Amino acid sequence: MKSIESFIYQWMSERGNNCIEPGSDKPAFDQPLVGIAAGSDRLFDFIKNDIGSDFYWSPSEAFAAAFPDTRTRPEQLSVISWILPQTEETRLAHRKQKTMPSIEWSKARHFGEMVNENLRRAVVEYFMQNGIKACAPTLLPQWQRNISKSYGFASSWSERHTAHVAGLGTFGLSDGLITAAGKAIRAGSVIASIKLSPTPREYTRHTQWCLFYTSGSCLACARRCPAGAITKDGHDKEKCKEYIRQTTRPYVEQKQLGWPVNSCGLCQTKIPCENRNPYAK
């Protein structure tokens, strides 16, 4: 059995799996980053209580939703998390935009998320074929959106929070996850009944890699947001969602793809953390 990291890298390197739109020879994403978290990591419990203990899943709860007849302790589980960085072509095109998403970004949001979903399925299959039970929490029928008392729009399982636990990055002012490959990314994860070595977290604070939270400087993402949804107080999810619903989603349908897509992400490009960790020396 090859390592899960190798499997993910190889799967993403095959153009048929990772293309910006069906039949294209252009990739949807660059080389992924992969991190591992222990299913028993206490940070998962902290996040569950912080977001909403009544609806947010711990790894063992998500696993139990997928395999209700199996009793699995958190210590027996590992969470495999990955980051799919936007390509340079997509980022450069998106940098030029001021109020509407680039077509490249909209394609990566739509077809790219299909790549991410297929990768989740492929990773689950990889484990199951090797006799190891596995599930992708966001693909489970029980996964649902919810409202967090503290944070507003939320869901049963957050890919960004999972990636944070798996050592892949910290949060920025705009709520996005700043990774070693920057913040212009998508994330995904799978839980498997196998003990793997966790990836060390090279941070002690959940916002450590954001320049605003470390030194009070930057605010570039706030200046990029046409909806005024990012301020020194953080990310206003209501304003963000409203702008996407009222403005960019119809734009994608009418001017770009012919169907509506929740595409925006202007706050993820033309900023110091677009494709790198700005905190790293």
Alpha helix locations (H) across the chain?
4-13, 42-51, 59-66, 88-95, 103-129, 159-165, 211-215, 220-224, 237-243, 249-251
For residue 173, state whether it binds ligand SF4 (rule: CB under 6 A): yes
Interface stretch with ligand SF4, choices 34-42, 86-94, 124-132, 270-278 (CB under 6 A): 270-278
Interface stretch with ligand SF4, choices 29-37, 134-142, 195-203, 268-276 (CB under 6 A): 268-276
Question: Contacting ligand SF4 (CB under 6 A), which of 62, 272, 275, 277?
Answer: 272
Q: Who contacts 32 (Cβ-Cβ below 8 Å, separation ≥6)?
A: 8, 9, 12, 82, 83, 84, 85
Q: One-letter amino acid identity for 168?
A: L
For residue 278, state whether it binds ligand SF4 (rule: CB under 6 A): yes
Residue window 129-168: x/- pattern of binding to ligand SF4, with contact defined by CB under 6 A: ----------------------------------------
70: helix, strand or coil: coil
Closest separation in Å from C-beta 155 to ligand SF4: 17
Q: Which lies closer to ligand SF4 via its Cβ, residue 192 or residue 264?
A: 264
- Find the residue with minimal CB distance to ligand SF4: 172
192: helix, strand or coil: strand
Cα torsion at 170, 173, 95, 153 (round to 10°)? 90
Helix (H) or strand (E) holding 36: strand 33-38
Interface stretch with ligand SF4, choices 14-22, 48-56, 197-205, 263-271 (CB under 6 A): 263-271
Closest separation in Å from C-beta 179 to ligand SF4: 11
Chain centre to alpha carbon of residue 129: 26
Question: Contacting ligand SF4 (CB under 6 A), which of 58, 106, 156, 174?
Answer: 174
Q: Which lies closer to ligand SF4 via its Cβ, residue 135 or residue 210?
A: 210
Q: Give the torsion sign (CA, 273, 45, 237, 190).
A: positive
Helix (H) or strand (E) holding 82: strand 78-85
For residue 185, state whether it binds ligand SF4 (rule: CB under 6 A): no
Closest CA to 240 of 252, 257, 222, 255: 222
Question: Contacting ligand SF4 (CB under 6 A), which of 172, 188, 198, 234?
Answer: 172
Write the CA distances from 24 to 86, 107, 113, integer angstroms: 16, 11, 15
Interface stretch with ligand SF4, choices 54-62, 77-85, 102-110, 238-246 (CB under 6 A): 238-246
Please tell me the distance from the alpha carbon of residue 145 to that of residue 153, in angstroms, as a whole number: 7
Q: Which lies closer to ligand SF4 via its Cβ, residue 39 or residue 234?
A: 234
- Residues at the interface with ligand SF4 (CB under 6 A): 172-174, 210-212, 218-221, 224-225, 227, 229-230, 235, 240, 243-244, 264-267, 271-273, 278
